[in-house]
Chain A
């Protein structure tokens, strides 16, 4: 019998949930820990799959809606299921979301030629510049920063949801889609919030690698970065469309 009464009463736990905590790295071998290299490489794989999907969506725009629906379902599955399954769902998410983005870009290109490459350039430009700002310590995310970004993101999501529901009744929140100054200002605000979400993703990956989380968290970090990039791309595309329609 052990001298520790808690061990005698409950036994030594084999619950994997305990090993998911940030502090419990003692039992994880060095080769099984999350690294920055791994997270960046997995993000590159997801981006490649997204571009592959976009090629399909570009050539078969009819697949846009199915791609969007399946991609969204896969995103929710990845978020709400065990993060250890992210390696299985994130690549499919990237592929299907790529199909949707390819189709959306075709529709935008038909109206405003050259808008797609502008949105891609700006999205990656923001990604690189914010990564530089984060790594160099110019932007320092804190708990208050996270609270602010989380609240703003939830507010935007709620506004979009209300607008979506209102659209079924032939109504809507006009300024969201208008190309007036208020509409463009709103789009700029949303682009800003989406961009600042990238900083939270960088911080999550950086701390995960520092704490030596399990290897599968590399996929989870890459997936969260991918979700933010997809959102940022769509918002930049919307902003550019508003500007070009004036």
Chain B
């Protein structure tokens, strides 16, 4: 009886995972300001590993040589 109950629990849970997993999360979950920014962390690591290189942070601006002349 015990084995049947836990077997059914496992099969039912797997079924839920395989179906619910493919559904997009609710707006309540996605539209938040305090979400984890997984990408931000990766970029920081990448930037730190390149210390000493010619990376200039800030807004990119086009250099117009004509105006200088």
Contact = CB atoms under 8 A, between A and B. Distances in A.
Interface of A: 3-6, 9-10, 17, 20-23, 36-37, 39-40, 43-44, 47, 114, 117-118, 120-125, 127-129, 131-132, 134-137, 140-143, 145-146, 200, 203-204, 206-208, 210-211
A128 B29 contact: no
Contacts of B7: 117, 121
Contacts of B12: 128
B62 A135 contact: no
A117 B6 contact: yes
Interface of B: 2-3, 5-10, 12-14, 16-18, 20-30, 32, 34-40, 42-43, 46, 54, 60, 62-64
- Most-contacted residue by chain B among A20, A37, A137, A141 (CB, 10 A): A137
Contacts of A120: 6, 10
Contacts of B35: 141-142, 203, 207
A230 B30 CA distance: 28
Contacts of A134: 25, 29
B6 A122 contact: yes
B36 A124 contact: no
Contacts of B39: 21-23, 207, 211
